[in-house]
Amino acid sequence: MRKKTVIHMIISVLLLTGHMVHASCWKAKIMGEREASKPKVLIGEGLEAQTFPYPPDPKETKCLIKLLSSDKTTRLTTDIRQTGEQNLEWLLLVNPHGEGPIEETTCTLSWSLGNGFSLTDFNDNVLVADMSQTATYPVSSSVDEYLRFKIKYHKSAFGLSALVRNLQIISGMTPSTWENINCDETIDLADTIALIQQVSK
């Protein structure tokens, strides 16, 4: 009885809240660091796809990271995918070198991502199986060229993490490492209710 009461209370809050956000609307930073260089790119999902081209390389940069468009024709700083796909993949380019002599150098990638993310090379060999558990990866090279990686995201159709995400958004307790984007008037209410019912069984 108590469990049903809690469920009804949560659903009532969802129905009465006029300002809600879809659970799949987010963006997150992928950062690099070498000496004073701290470049970053943005990946995410939104109601509409958004991309921003990469500007000319800044001078005296010690580490370069870029995203590559899905068709592999354009280098980007931001790649927001339209929400709805079950499996997503971002193409990441990393060059640990900048100005100066060619020698073995390392650019350390870092991120703050939830469940379902993995890092692979371009041949799909897994480098970081769970990016929610490992938050950094060193990229080293003695050649001045871009090394290629993939960030893969496999979403669970219904899972506790999505429920928690929705409730955090509604309560104003969204983690600071995730930023909501262009989805502030929409929520997949049916999914959220189904998640509550599933978790409560």
In a domain, 134, yes or no: yes
pLDDT per position as a tens digit, 78-126: 999 988 788 999 999 999 986 666 788 899 999 999 889 999 999 999 9
What is the structure's pLDDT at 137? 98
* pLDDT above 50 for 130: yes
* pLDDT above 50 for 186: no
What is the structure's pLDDT at 155? 81
Residues 44 and 90 in one domain: yes
Domain membership of residue 166 as a residue range: 2-23+160-175+185-199
Residues 52 and 146 in one domain: yes
Residues 97 and 145 in one domain: yes
In a domain, 11, yes or no: yes
Residues 73 and 170 in one domain: no
* pLDDT above 80 for 197: no
What is the structure's pLDDT at 187? 44
* pLDDT above 60 for 41: yes
What is the 3 state secondary structure string of the chain?
Answer: CHHHHHHHHHHHHHHHCCCCECCCCEEEEEEEEECCECCEEEEEEECCCEEEECCCCCCCCCCEEEEECCCCCCEEEEEEEECCCCEEEEEEEEECCCCCCCCCEEEEEEECCCCCEEEEECCCCEEECCCCCCCEEEEEECCCCCEEEEEEEECCCCCHHHHHHHHHHHHCCCCCCCECCCCCCECCHHHHHHHHHHHCC
Considering its fold, how many domains does the chain have in total?
2
In a domain, 180, yes or no: no
